[in-house]
């Protein structure tokens, strides 16, 4: 069954890319394995996936310990007291959204001598209390906490735009463009999920995070 869902997803991604003149190879499909059993993750691995997104630190730690040959990325909110565990068990943290968290991650990564990817989660729609994310005005302070760090490699921006607002994806793409000019660095965008991946790809998303459309309803 997962094979059939993956075929549909790849067709959707390819069609969306064709509509906007992009190469489908530019768009990463990140499977979201939240609350999925190990067997489902192994089934996805058999189809060529080696990296998975997890929403909860504790659940992700258990899976990483059981599946040490795979990589896990944290795509859910991160509390400061779980920062050490997140760095030890996740290869990337996509939800850095406040200064004190970025500072703590920087200190711990240096202490642990761990090289990790770091993404800043942004919220341009004042949805902070619902999904997490920082406002645009907070970006410079958060970024400066690990700017030039040999341990935390800044990748780009992650966001969960409000449903039914495709213009939100364009706003994120504009933000990425401005920060690419500021940093002189190619930055990635992680936006778009099962229900809105087409709009995200049209706007320039580099990564879509897919759970239900790949694994089915939990």
pLDDT value for 177: 97
Retrieve residue 24's tokens: 């489908």
pLDDT value for 130: 61
pLDDT value for 93: 98
- Prediction pTM value: 0.95
Going by pLDDT thresholds of 50, 70 and 90, the confidence category of residue 127 is low
* Predicted confidence (pLDDT) per residue in 173-189, tens digit: 999 999 999 999 999 99
Average pLDDT over every residue of 94-99: 96
Can you name the CATH fold of 2-215?
A: TIM Barrel (3.20.20)
| 140 vs 153: CA distance, rounded Å | 16
Retrieve residue 115's tokens: 């090289």
Domain boundaries, the chain: 2-215
* Predicted confidence (pLDDT) per residue in 101-110, tens digit: 999 999 999 9
Query: How many CB atoms neighbour CB 61 within 10 A?
Result: 18
pLDDT value for 163: 83
């Amino acid at each position: 069954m997962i094979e059939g869902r993956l075929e549909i997803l790849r067709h959707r991604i390819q069609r969306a890319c064709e509509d906007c003149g992009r190469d489908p190879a530019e768009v990463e499909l990140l499977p979201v394995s939240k609350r999925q059993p190990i067997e489902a993750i192994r089934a996805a691995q058999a189809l060529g996936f080696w990296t998975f997104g997890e929403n909860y630190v504790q659940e992700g730690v258990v899976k990483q310990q059981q599946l040490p040959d795979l990589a896990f990325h944290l795509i859910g909110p991160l509390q400061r007291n779980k920062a050490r565990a997140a760095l030890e068990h996740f290869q990337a943290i996509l939800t850095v959204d406040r200064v004190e968290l970025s500072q703590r991650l920087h200190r711990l990564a240096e202490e642990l001598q761990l090289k990790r990817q770091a993404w800043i989660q942004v919220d341009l729609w004042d949805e902070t209390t619902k999904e997490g994310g920082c406002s645009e005005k907070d970006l410079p302070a958060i970024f400066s906490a690990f700017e030039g760090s040999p341990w935390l490699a800044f990748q780009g921006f992650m966001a969960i735009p409000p449903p039914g607002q495709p213009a939100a994806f364009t706003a994120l793409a504009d933000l990425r463009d401005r920060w690419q000019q500021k940093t002189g660095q190619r930055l990635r965008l992680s936006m778009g999920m099962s229900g809105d991946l087409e709009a995200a790809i049209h706007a320039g998303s580099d990564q879509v995070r897919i759970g239900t459309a790949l694994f089915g309803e939990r």
